């Protein structure tokens, strides 16, 4: 279980460097926006979330890291489902406020 970390910032750094290289100005973790998006491109009204595949349950069709643990399911299932539900709420709120939302998955970085 060593690859399961609550905060894995490495994929986030990859995306930040990419955005920077493309000349985009952004802010990080704006606390005034739902879900504190990892990158916020204010003038473009775009936000980017960099999601860990396990914690945010990446679609199993695309990524095996989204698998739920087979042991201790009574602990993990509700916990991971809460993350997924929260993500949906954040995206819905952002879109309603006129933001475009991009999700970058850890396995894609
Ligand atoms: Zn993935």
Cα separation, 51 vs 91, in Å, equals 13
Kindly give the distance from the C-alpha atom of residue 16 to the centroid of ligand 1, in angstroms, as a whole number.
18
In a domain, 15, yes or no: yes
In a domain, 25, yes or no: yes
Residue 36 has pLDDT above 90, yes or no: yes
Phi and psi dihedrals of 22, rounded to 5? -85, 0
Which CATH number characterizes residue 63's domain? 3.40.960.10
Kindly give the distance from the C-alpha atom of residue 47 to the centroid of ligand 1, in angstroms, as a whole number.
19
Query: Tokens at residue 52, please?
Result: 């860990």
Q: What is the mean pLDDT of the segment spanning 9-30? A: 84
In a domain, 3, yes or no: no
Q: Which domain holds residue 21?
A: 10-108
Number of structural domains the chain divides into: 1
Neighbours of 11 (CB within 10 A): 19
In a domain, 2, yes or no: no
In a domain, 66, yes or no: yes
Angle at 3 between CA 79 and CA 57, to 5 degrees: 40
* Helices vs strands, H then E, count in the chain: 2, 4
Residue 7: pLDDT band (50, 70, 90) is low
| Average pLDDT value for the chain | 89
Kindly give the distance from the C-alpha atom of residue 9 to the centroid of ligand 1, in angstroms, as a whole number.
15
In a domain, 51, yes or no: yes
In a domain, 4, yes or no: no
Q: What does pTM read for this prediction? A: 0.82
């Amino acid at each position: 279980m060593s690859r399961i970390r609550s905060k894995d910032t490495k994929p986030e750094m990859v995306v930040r460097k990419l955005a920077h290289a493309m000349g985009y100005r952004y802010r990080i973790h704006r606390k005034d926006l739902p879900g504190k998006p990892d990158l916020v491109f204010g003038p473009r009204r775009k936000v980017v979330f960099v999601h860990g595949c396990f914690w945010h349950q990446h679609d199993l069709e695309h990524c095996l890291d989204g698998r739920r643990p087979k042991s201790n399911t009574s602990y993990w299932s509700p916990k991971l489902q809460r993350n997924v539900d929260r993500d949906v709420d954040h995206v819905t709120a952002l879109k309603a406020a006129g933001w475009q939302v991009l999700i970058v998955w850890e396995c894609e970085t």
